[in-house]
Structure 1
Amino acid sequence: MTDLGQDAVDLCRALVRRPSVTPQDAGAQEALAARLRQAGFSVESVTFSAPGTPDVVNLFARFGEGAPHFAFAGHTDVVPPGDLARWRSDPFAAEIDGGEIIGRGVVDMKGAIAAFAAAAASFCARGPFKGSISLLITGDEEGPAINGTEKLLAWAAERGARFDHCLVGEPTNPDALGDMIKIGRRGSLNGTLTVTGRQGHVAYPQRADNPIPAAMRLAQALAAPPLDAGTALFDPSNLEIVSFDVGNPAFNVIPAQARARFNIRFNDHWTPQSLAAELQTRAARAAQGADFALAFEPCNALAFVTEPDAFVGLVAGAVERTTGRRPKLSTSGGTSDARFIRAYCPVLEFGLVGQTMHMVDERAPAAEIGALAAIYEAVLDDYFRVFAHG
């Protein structure tokens, strides 16, 4: 393994050994900060707070001055490990077994953070360049995402930071390193359908109004027909009913209310407002006199896309040159902190293979973490050669 690869692997293992389950940092960001300071980065730790949410530690590091300003972004927080007895080894020991590093957060996404920190350190050590490299690191991506990247971006902007492009290290590859770059994400909207009837005895249905049949009919109306046929860069939007509840423990009581909760993953054909209006229209058509209400949760996950351009081609080229694979450009999957970054600059996502993220025995080959570091350094080489002109 190259010195760059070994540096990335060593840092990954150091980060995994900090059990930074959201919202705890457990020293993960300080371990990263120490490596970045060693490489000459200025590093600031920033804690954000909000009523009803835990305080969250975030990190901003920068090397260089002025434009072009390239940023890497990621999160050091991880999901809980689950049943420890089912793991091959301690999920926070970062042991290597069969060439793979095993541990919570290796894939999502301490491996990528270690890779881009090592790549940035290596690139900066090679000599002067025109522009800046920054790292935006939060501890609030797996949690409510209130005291993390969104506030860190605003904090950096208030201090004069202007980002030209950003690469997020989320695990984007389905099967092999080099498979896929995320150029956007679908939006996510949560809602609740409530149908109100009249409680009564099941032996006297004429004295009651059972809300369940109407709730089933309305839920079906929300989900069908399809919301759309997809767009040029997105799959069709999709509504899934995720729970159906009446809260009724008795067999001889007709309940007073029925509730269905749902989530919509939507493409750039929609906004939360236009979706809410469409679903309200569908429900009204199917109501047949039923007393219903639709309510939607606040939405901070809008559909977005970074149109294929010189930056997208540059990153894809660096991936192909390093791995021999031409990555597919995709908007699939869930949400990520890229949804906040897109308000500041064009943003892409590329990281490790995601097959074991959030699972027991989350793991990644050490060689692939080293290869990812080489890809990130190739991106930096090409980026400052192409964009650092004038």
Structure 2
Amino acid sequence: MKKNVDPCYYGDYLQLDKLLSAQHLQSAKYGEPAHDETLFIIVHQVYELWFKQILHELSSVIDVFSAQQVKDQQLTTVVHRLKRVISIQGLLNDQISVMETMSPQEFLAFRDYLVPASGFQSIQFKMLEIGLGLKREFRIDFDKQSFYNRLEQKDRDFLEALEKKDSLFELTQRWLERLPLLEFDDFKFWALYRQATDKMLASDEAIIQGNPTLSEKDRRQELRELQSTRDTFAALWDEQEYSNWQSQGHFRLSQRALLAALFINQYNEEPLFNLPYQFITCLTEIDEKLTIWRYRHAMMVQRMLGGKIGTGGSSGHEYLKRTTESNRIFKDFFNMATFMLPKAALPELPANVKGQLGFVMVGL
């Protein structure tokens, strides 16, 4: 790399004159400036800067998965960049603690001057949600109706165009669907796996039936829950039943994609599956940290506003609390634990199957 010809000065490089003069207090327009409004502005500006970096990383990952093939070297880079996103999310979550140093009265000193501005209008955050896979049809009803109606037309047009592009969820699903479902000659993996799960569930039932500490009411309840687990397993093997469950919102991933993800997770110690496993784990952690951010944001809003409406017209805390669980993206990866077996109970992969997988997986 050649050295720069012109000297680089710290303040000029970071454009600190623009950055440090970008805090304009609304309260100052109407009288005495509210002391804590500076904190409020800076915290949200920092959020937007980190959103920009997350979008930069996410865009590069989407580019990789938009291609016909995802090579191992690319998957290494993808995992590295997603781990960076996870680290940034940790900072975003911790930043809420800084905001919580402001008391409700200190916030109320300038809050009404912000109407109708709202976090609803963060275009970058909406880009992040859409890019990950939280498009309008997957939002709660209130969110579907209000997703764009607080935005200027140019922003609305931009986001609606973005929704037509493939999200990371959709690209990940296609990538998983390209994994063969392990039917090689006389080795039928999923038939063996189903036998192992039936044995596990039968063992669970025997434990419930033989537990002397359970009352009859508790025993019936646990047996009902076990039957629900059996029904979930049954849906996993049956294409039509899976489709029914999917239409009811129990699954979002296609059956083939979920089975592939389950196989990768079960055999994650195999060198061939380690990077795919890390990728799936990263998506799970991103969804978890996004959910934690929503939850902490909801708690902060309740602490600051109680039952008051938000500046953007939403129901404030109540709305945010509902989105915490509803606006999940990779929930199937969390629920996959339902279908996991202990290592000792897994069907052993024959050497010839491992060899064939090694050949087939190179193109993923």
Q: Shared fold by TM > 0.5?
A: no
Please state which band the TM-score falls in when normalised by the shorter chain.
under 0.3
- Return the structure number with greater helix share: 2
